[in-house]
Amino acid sequence: MNERHRPRPPRSIAVVLPLMLIALYLPLAVMLISSFTDIQDGGSYFTLRWYHEVFADPALWEALSRSFLVASGAAAMSTLLGLLGALAIDKWSFRARVVLRTLSWLSLMLPELVLALALLSWFALFGLTLSLWTVIAAHITLTLPFVILIIGARLKGLDPAYDDAARDLGAREWQVLTRVTLPLLAPSIVTGFLLAFLISFDDFLVTFYTNGVGSDTLPVRLYSMMKQGMSPKIQALSSIMLIVSVVLIALLARLRGLKSLADAES
């Protein structure tokens, strides 16, 4: 807003920022370093051994592919539903608009644990065996409000004159949607998808309760590994996931998703 110099807080206050950033990053750095370190004979030296172990572990690859599968499927469906939801709330004259908005808000405010257990009961009621499908369904429910939020935020900022112009020039309602609204929403749709993907990929809690035996996703696998104690192999795995996350976040940032995320939070 105002690009001119803004009065800075005094050092004693502003110093919290770098201190906390260090506090946040220090463990990550240590983890990264440890993953490359092997301690033998009282000394420590650089090694790629742990990474080899990670890459050679078939269970981990399976977990990774499952995570990827689930995240793709859940994100895709969630984006589609979220698009419809955002359009229904902010654009269309939809009678159950308030209902949808409340539901979206509700699912946001709900503790993830309660959602997980509720779904668990639900699936049990219908006699559904827990599998990746149940996980996908759970993830969709989890990520849907975020997509609605992101696309909805962009939608609110769109000038209604575009639609008017399209109608004036001869477009039917569905054509207005496909030729004007959707192209203008495209960046936010992608952002929504990426965010949903990220949330799904990283999710632990809901996945833990709704997945079947032996079909762990990566975070769940990591959890079980950590329960048994820390090892450099775990650190290597975590480091890999960290790098991937960073890349994805950089992608998000390029699409300016971060700003809308920060705004959407409020």
Which positions from 106 through 165 interact with other proteins, judged by CB under 8 A? 106-107, 109-115, 117-122, 125, 137-138, 140-141, 144, 148, 159-165
Instruction: For the CB of residue 221, give the shortest distance to other proteins in the complex, in Å.
Output: 9
Which of positions 236-255 make contact with other proteins (CB under 8 A)?
238, 241-242, 245-246, 248-250, 252-253
The answer to whether 193 touches 251, Cβ cutoff 8 Å, is no
Coil vs helix vs strand at 230: coil
Asked if residue 76 binds other proteins (CB under 8 A), the reply is no
Out of 64, 189, 198, 206, the only residue in the binding site for other proteins (CB under 8 A) is 198
188's tokens:
């936010």
Q: Could you give the dihedral angle defined by the CA atoms of residues 142, 148, 153 and 155, in that order, rounded to the nearest 10 degrees?
A: 160
Is 156 buried (19+), middle (13-18) or exposed (0-12) by CB count in 10 A?
exposed
Instruction: For the CB of residue 153, give the shortest distance to other proteins in the complex, in Å.
Output: 12
Q: What is the DSSP letter of 9?
A: P
Asked if residue 175 binds other proteins (CB under 8 A), the reply is yes
Nearer to other proteins, 127 or 183 (CB): 183
Taking the C-alpha atoms of residue 68 and residue 218, their distance in angstroms, rounded to an integer, is 9
Instruction: For the CB of residue 23, give the shortest distance to other proteins in the complex, in Å.
Output: 7
180's tokens:
């004007």
Instruction: For the CB of residue 30, give the shortest distance to other proteins in the complex, in Å.
Output: 5
Dihedral sign for Cα atoms in the order 179, 180, 181, 187: positive
Instruction: For the CB of residue 58, give the shortest distance to other proteins in the complex, in Å.
Output: 20
Taking the C-alpha atoms of residue 133 and residue 112, their distance in angstroms, rounded to an integer, is 18
Out of 51, 68, 133, 223, the only residue in the binding site for other proteins (CB under 8 A) is 223
Q: Which range touches other proteins (CB under 8 A), out of 46-54, 57-65, 68-76, 94-102?
A: 94-102
Out of 45, 65, 98, 263, the only residue in the binding site for other proteins (CB under 8 A) is 263
Nearer to other proteins, 62 or 202 (CB): 202
Asked if residue 68 binds other proteins (CB under 8 A), the reply is no
- CA-based Rg of the chain, rounded to a whole angstrom? 23
Q: Which range touches other proteins (CB under 8 A), out of 46-54, 56-64, 68-76, 105-113?
A: 105-113
Taking CA 84 as the corner, what is the angle to CA 140 and CA 191, rounded to the nearest 5 degrees?
Answer: 65
Residues in the chain: 266
Out of 34, 191, 207, 211, the only residue in the binding site for other proteins (CB under 8 A) is 34
Instruction: For the CB of residue 97, give the shortest distance to other proteins in the complex, in Å.
Output: 7
Q: What is the DSSP letter of 158?
A: S
